[in-house]
Structure 1
Amino acid sequence: MVTLKHDSHEHELNLTEVDAYMVGKGKCGVCEMQINEASSIYKCLREDCPNNSLSLFFFLHKSCAELPKQITHPHHPQHSLVLGREYNQEIVKLTRGSLPHLTACKLCSRQIDEQMWNYFCKACSYEFLLPTNAYLHIFTFSLCIRCAIMEPAIHHEGHKHHRLTLLRRQLSLICDACGITKENDFCYSCLPCQFWIHSSCAASPATIKLRFHQDDTLHLIYSVPHMYRSFTRHCQICKNEVLKDKWAYFCEDSGYFVHITCARTLLAYGENEIKHEAEEEEEDYAQPHPDLLQFPLPSTDSLVANLLAYHQLKNPSTITNPIAEEPVIQHWSHEHHPLVLSEKSTFKGDADSDDDENDDILICNGCTTPILNQHKYYQCIRCNYFLHISCANHLPIKFPAGKCLADPDHSLNLDKLEIKLGRNLSIAFCHSCHLPTNGFGYRCNSCSKLTDIICCLLPDKIKHDSHKHALVQHFNHPSFKMYQNICTACLAPVLDGFDYRCETCIDVQIHQHCAMLYPKSITHRFDSHTISLLYPPIYYKGIKYCEICELQVNPEAWLYWCRHCDQCFHPNCIRAWHNMKLGDKIFNGGIHRHKLTLVAIDKDRYPQRIHKSLACNQGHDNGSSLDVYLECAGCFFIL
């Protein structure tokens, strides 16, 4: 075994080859750079060495350990430079660091502390008279190890077709590797290609070892692979965007990216672990906030019931609808037929249907959310009309002043928001969330503004499992669009209406429907197992597709996942929500000879449903991705 005794360490060092465990475990005692996986190092093997621990150990790169004691450098050709430490440290102690130029590298201006090795010129010095009448030698030229041993020209995998030449001048240029302008670093350049990278970026190792999802090996890539460009990717350390044409570290097994600058900073501190938000502030999760409504709920069916119970707890004087839970009732919203109490819901359509747009489960005509098997409900089979027990019997008949956004002094009365059909289809819009609806709502007595049930019952504050802090209700005014926030659940813009935000974490905001309408687990006819809701970060190799729409799922957004079948679903595909009950059929002979069905079509998600040959016969297009149509499937007629 080859051994070495070096002045930087008190013990003998043994020559060894780097293994995967060593990557990211400390810095070289001479150049202070990280270990490259394909290199040889001198390592201290003494178990009692105070410099060794489970996460760090003392080592020297083989090239650094074997540095010559004396060199001649092109930036100081008149004298030889000597390898040493403690460059001008005595004057630092005397002046308490007030003269930093005396201990700076003459090329990169990096401060050379008492532990750093450097090459300095003994000939270039002058004497400084101390108050004690003693003289102190002050050296005027020194280079840090990185600048001293920097190669004048290199071949790099990030720019294979030309050699890169070192520019020994500090230039203010945007680095083609990291995308950052850094003035205290040299550049390697290819002048024919106008390609520039920092010398520190050029020295980035081909692989690093980080602990985040597990013991991950990350490979240096020179652009984001095309298969991962369907969505914006973010660095798992700083959470900022990873630019598609810049260098990054990529974990292929877990599918995440890290900026090269973030990885370099983390490893420079002798760390290799990226802590997730839940690990950093684990104590916050110990506060369950029992006084707040907890989301996600076990079932979407219980949403209105939970909102009602919480509202009545906070507002005991609320006047509710006094209808009793009878086997048969005559309800004010469906006066022409009685409603029958049922105990088990069934699918409206054939279980083998190829309609992927929803589950074909029963939808409540009151709140427009699904009715599931574990709850009773009222129904009129002849009219395809269904109501939750809570929507039929327990809704407040009136909201006092405070709920009308147009004027807080106005009161609201329970009403049914009808669809009106004239020459064109018109939908009642909720004044709060600005979404179309055909369910129940509350109408302002003074200004006739409409607000749907869920918006009226929204609590001011909730607790959601996806975040450690409580979330506070926030209203986005449609005219206030100076900047655009992104929902952390679906990654869509947060525009008009209500959302829930964290008052502590400025980057956490969730659409009200994302926060409330997606249950903790769900069942679906596409999968025989229970499907669970997952929150980012979500790790998997390669790319995955939604089993319903067959488009890619984004690992940085919420998704539903079956751990048994390894199947993924978009939340909006497996539990589509439009704030409307779809499927009602309307006949108007003046428009079309057949019955038309109310449908919602997402032109981004299902582009094959809307194209030139199937465009709206009236030339209607509001520019929105999701729109509501009247459709005759047999004639390919869309209005």
Structure 2
Amino acid sequence: MESQHYLGHQHPLIFNEKQMSNQSEAEAAAIKCSRCGEAMFGPSFSCAEECGFYVHKQCAEAPSEMNHPFHRDHPLCLLPNSPYEGGYICNFCGEEACLSSPLIIQDKHHPHPFTRFWRNFSFTCDACGIDKKGGFRYTCSKCKLLVHKECISLPRVIKFFWHEHPIFHNYFLQLQGEGSSSKSWECVVCLDKVDIGFGSYSCLHCHFIVHVKCARKNEKWFYEIEPEDYKDDNFSDSDACKDSMIVMDRNEDGEATRIKHFSHEHNLMLSDEKINVEDHQYCDGCALSVSLDHPFYYCSQCDFLLHKKCAEFPIRKHLWFHVCPHPTTLVSEKIFKCFGCRYVYNGFAYRFNNEEWFDICLPCVIPDIVKCQGHEHPLYYHFGYDEGNCNACGKKIAYPFKCKVCKFFVHGHCLKLPQKAPHKCDEYLLTLTYHDDNTYSLTHFCDICEQDRDPSLWFYHCAICDISAHLNCVLGKGRYPFMKPGKIYKESDQLHPHPLIFVKKIHYYPECFKCGDSCQNLALECVNSECSYIVHWDCIAPSNLKES
């Protein structure tokens, strides 16, 4: 060690080759340089009188005057203290310690080093696509890239909670394939256009893209995946789909016509035009009505029905709206209240970590971009939007699906309303209707509650009987629209000696054995024809399985 004086300090300084000998590594990290304010590591000087003055060797040897490309008009003078009251802000980057930023940065995900660029001008970063003046900029001369310093270390691959596949960072997207140039590229978070000539995150498998700033808006929305650890099989739902069903037969087009599904004991057959489908038949997966308009699988030995799209749901699935790196698991034959829409179901659910409080119904597992029969344009999920009212139900909007072409907003749970629904007011099923073309104002009322009805909102209607009704009057409290009738209640033995099945009494109302009132809507009824036992579901259901 040698003792010497340093400009700006009254005591001699002792040179330390690596680290102060009498300090541990943790203690040294807590000590700050009296000039740059950074932690004391590496060669440094300390005060011989132990007055608490420490300085990096690099800071001590900084020239007293220098010319700098950031300010070409005058030389810069080194001052021991800021001449401004309350400290200073760098005119270049808005922070401190510009002179200590490295000249060259080598990132593990880029094959070439990035070199510091000394000109101060406004530019668009090739990594994030943001225009910004000031701050450090680095260039890769071989790749012709100009980027912010902080963008050099952007993760190459991330798992973004909004999408089922990992997404990759690219400095630009190269359009490939027929029709690719005509595709629109909008960020799924902010819905604004993405300039694919600059950096963004996108999916290798889907038409999915997001701005860098939007993908990293919240640190809970993503986690980094090392490129060498990425494998399609580890992050895709495609293989998991094989676990939900076994294909027994296929037709000439390769479509599965006979399957063995994990949820049912018998083989299932694909529907065709010869199948007779009656009203009041519902899918055992989503509990929505079944019709020949959409293909479905049926059991020839019992009344089990399953939409084709419901049968193809994978056993394990990453939900795009669920901020978690782990997939959910498909379960069947459960009664649950959906964590998303708060309706009670007796169909399939996606469950997280075997926790019953987090069950998601199949209709809620909808993509972030959907087509709706009630609107001509695609609808996009708009995160964080909470202005205006829903065009379906008229209630205040929050986290809606939004049309980018016109001012159309709709709740996610309104998108999953059943197309057909029974009600005692009519002998036929009521159909979900999106527009009331009748301009005669006296027809704009609800036939159930006999109150006025807004013709601009969705409603249920019977064209045969000319009956119209509010959504909530058909599907409101106690209606349980997503509980499939005919299923056996597995805990029947706790209530009655015979098995009980779910029924919905529409036109005949026997008295409830529990409360004595007439059993309208959802109830449990004894399968023994000689036994008249019936009870309201609301009379015996646990509080967490009632619809408020």
**1 or 2 for the larger relative contact order (CA 8 Å, sep ≥6)?**
1
TM-score (norm 2): 0.40
TM, length-normalised to structure 1? 0.35
